[in-house]
Amino acid sequence: MSLENFLIVAAIIFAIGLYGAITKNNAITVLMSIELMFNAVNISAVAMSRYIVPASISQDPAAADLAVQFLLTGQVFTIFIITVAAAEVALGLAIVLSIFRQRASIFVSDAAELKN
């Protein structure tokens, strides 16, 4: 597979997640859509790290020492994104449970009424 294939798959997954986050009214579905968008970013970060860095090493052998430092950049960003996503899910589910206990509903529109 080439870099373009990975980026196309990531773009499709991101678009599905964006559509779900914008159009759905259920809070859990919105959280799942945000997770899809995070996973699309993870796919593109790892694919870029896999295909871009080795290509730059092969073109300029003098810069090989510098490029080795950037070899795992996509994987490191992916670990950070997974960590943030886990914290987001824990916090999001706590908020959803709190709203469900007060309103007996998990719709986003009911959460907007809590401001009043």
pLDDT value, residue 58: 60
What is the per-residue pLDDT across 34-64, written as a single tens digit (0 to 9) for each?
999 999 999 998 888 888 766 556 666 666 6
What is the per-residue pLDDT across 81-107, written as a single tens digit (0 to 9) for each?
899 989 988 998 888 888 888 878 777
**Structure letter (DSSP) for residue 104:** S
Helix (H/G/I), strand (E/B), else coil: 71: coil
d(CA 116, CA 108): 15
What pTM was computed for the model? 0.77
| Side chain identity at residue 40, one-letter code | A
CA quadruple 59, 79, 3, 21: dihedral, nearest 10:
-140
